[in-house]
Structure 1
């Protein structure tokens, strides 16, 4: 459940920064944004995995949202 919510919120934040809708392009954008391999970016975007604490913090900082909101532990994004 948390993976799905994380995936939805991560995709929403990518929408907010104008990332392309194509999954291949979104994977590329996320991979470059937080310097992770494309296979990991794909797994995160598809909800197949959750980020570790270091990556979660990097994503939260990049998107200017709370880490708890990203993983679905909070309803407040800030």
Structure 2
């Protein structure tokens, strides 16, 4: 999503402008875990962010249901 894998972040992370607005960026602290961030979301990132938050929500629901019902999602 950000042009490099989480494992590659240590090598290329210094070149990232973490202040750029409305762009999907590697998270300044948790990039090596695959987290992303956006400063001032806007038209360029809005749709993609809604997709990502929706996917994260659905995954959290499935994990919760698996824990409470004992069924693997």
Determine which structure has the larger strand proportion and give its number.
Answer: 2
Bigger RCO (CA 8 Å, 6+ sep) = 1
TM-score (norm 1): 0.30
Determine which structure has the larger helix proportion and give its number.
Answer: 1
TM-score (norm 2): 0.31
